[in-house]
Amino acid sequence: GVVHSHRGKRGGYTLREIPQELTLGKILRAIDGPLAPVPCVSASGYEPCEDCPSEGDCLIRIAMKEVREAISRVLDLKTLDKLLLQGSRTGQEPMFHI
């Protein structure tokens, strides 16, 4: 859902959203799936841990939830246009490798 394909002689791919609204979080979720480091803290791909006796008491889960929220906060605020602008300020050529 991030790109749209056009068939034919003048075909190719275009973004479905404008760069000012397309976030890195959305792109990475479309390519790699949930951003959470472990499935039990995923907002979109939640799965309980097989050997966890109590999610509510799991200290690792609490820490991983903080990690997920930090990752989401950064990637969901960084839009494609901001990323390109940041690169142009440093003199870097735009390059994306996903």
> Tens digit of pLDDT for each residue in 20-59?
999 999 999 988 899 999 999 998 889 888 888 888 889 9
**Which residue in 66, 80, 13, 2 sits closest to 38, CA to CA?**
66
Average pLDDT value for residue range 64-88: 91
Write down the pTM of the prediction. 0.73
The confidence score (pLDDT) of residue 97 equals 56
Instruction: Give every CB contact of residue 3 below 8 A, 6+ residues apart in sequence.
Output: 13, 14, 15, 16
CA pair distance 98, 79, nearest whole angstrom? 15
Confidence at residue 65, expressed as pLDDT on a 0 to 100 scale = 93
**Confidence check: pLDDT of 91 > 80:** no
Of 29, 65, 41, give the one whose Cα is nearest residue 49: 41
Whether 70 has a pLDDT exceeding 80, the answer reads: yes
SS3 assignment, position 32: helix
**Integer Cα distance of 44 and 12 in angstroms:** 30
pLDDT at 61: 92
